[in-house]
Amino acid sequence: MPTFEAAARKESFTLAGEEVGLSQSSVSKQIMELESRLGQPLFVRAHKQISLTPAGHRLLRAYSLAASQIIDALEDLLQERSKKQIVLSTSTANAAFMLLPRVAEVRECFPGGEIFVVTSDPQGIETAGQVDLVLSFGKPDFSDLKLRPLFRDILTPVCSPEFMDRKGPLRHVDDLLRCELLYMQAQHPSWIGWRQWLRHFSLELPKNHQAMGFNNYYNTIQACLAGQGVALGWLRLLGDSLSSGQLVTPFPEYVETEDQYHLAWPAHRRPEFAIEPFEEWLWRRYGGNIPGFTPSDAERISRPPASRF
């Protein structure tokens, strides 16, 4: 095949032979053997000139594509030798709200490494692949991970300013009972739903209350940003939307979770990179005060049991 490609590119058996180190007659013989196997000509032979037939053009395109893929694969393999890929597993929500808006800052935590982010719900723990580091909320359900606990989260209702203008005023928690409530279907005991959150303020959802649900938190917040209702806000995730004014917190009441965010890594092997820069970045960026929300101890409620709604 290299002989065919050279002949097609040079449009000359003689020049192709010079490139691949064969005589003109040897090149011609190889091309004839290939044509015999295919049962059709690949070149139109004229006096001191050759050109590709339609079948020859087809074979050249296929050969060029395959050669390009081989070159790309070789370059990828060579790059893998020269740098360390760090596989970071987390939930869709953590990736969307914590990591992706600050990719450059995350890269700085792992100098010399290539970050490959894998998302897996509900907890963000991908066990099928070769995961190096996990960022999860709630204690991971796997015993073969070493854990480093981080910070808790704060839960309070959030909505868009447009929703507030349309449905307001929202002054008391019981005003929520006349609002469209957006919820994420809980897939893990660490997640808290509306029903249990409201019960800590002695409120029950009406049996005929119609809400809109989603199977992931990112879509829940997108609907909230679009002014479709009130969502239960995990404020560690939503700091950017609060500080920009895209979301607001109507009430001072909130719930602080007992569960925490965690960093975790496989217990059977020591990480080949330092975890501390990423841990310090998470604390600095997400572990302190939350922009746009100033809770008071008088309004704090400890975490309720988990609920599906």
Question: What residue type is 148 in one-letter code?
Answer: R
User: Contact at 8 Å (CB) between 87 and 118?
Assistant: yes
Stretch 229-237: mean pLDDT, rounded? 93
pTM check: above 0.85: no
- Residue 270 CA to residue 252 CA, distance in Å, equals 43
Q: Which of 50-59, 90-99, 189-198, 258-267 has the lowest mean pLDDT?
A: 189-198
Q: Domain ranges for the chain, please list them.
A: 2-82, 154-256+291-302
- 154-256+291-302 belongs to which CATH class? alpha beta
Strand partners, 300: 254
Compute the residue count for the chain: 309
The confidence band for 309, taking pLDDT boundaries of 50, 70 and 90, is very low
What count of other Cβ atoms lies within 10 Å of the Cβ of residue 169? 9
Element (DSSP H or E) covering residue 150: strand 145-158
- Residue 249 CA to residue 299 CA, distance in Å, equals 13
- Residue 234 CA to residue 77 CA, distance in Å, equals 41
Query: What would the pLDDT profile of 177-186 be if each residue is shown by its tens digit?
Result: 888 999 887 6
The percentage of the chain sitting over the pLDDT mark of 70, rounded to a whole number, equals: 86
The confidence band for 215, taking pLDDT boundaries of 50, 70 and 90, is confident
Average pLDDT, the chain: 84
Domains 2-82 and 154-256+291-302 fall in the same CATH topology:
no
Query: What would the pLDDT profile of 106-165 be if each residue is shown by its tens digit?
Result: 999 998 888 888 887 766 565 555 788 999 988 776 678 888 999 999 999 999 999 999
Stretch 282-288: mean pLDDT, rounded? 92
Nearest to 287 by CA among 237, 227, 213: 237
* pLDDT tops 60 at residue 305: no
Query: What would the pLDDT profile of 31-83 be if each residue is shown by its tens digit?
Result: 999 999 889 999 999 877 899 999 999 998 888 888 888 877 766 665 554 45
- Architecture, CATH, for domain 2-82: Orthogonal Bundle (1.10)
The percentage of the chain sitting over the pLDDT mark of 90, rounded to a whole number, equals: 35
First to last CA, the chain: 63
What DSSP designation does 178 have?
A: G
Q: What per-residue confidence (pLDDT) applies to 204?
A: 87
The confidence band for 187, taking pLDDT boundaries of 50, 70 and 90, is low
The confidence band for 97, taking pLDDT boundaries of 50, 70 and 90, is very high
How far from 129 is each of 41, 118, 154, 207, 265, CA to CA, in Å? 48, 9, 32, 43, 13
- Greater confidence (1 vs 223) lies with 223
Helix-helix angle 2-10:24-38, to 10 degrees? 110
Q: What per-residue confidence (pLDDT) applies to 127?
A: 55
Q: What per-residue confidence (pLDDT) applies to 302?
A: 40
Reading the block at residue 222, the tokens are 């997108």
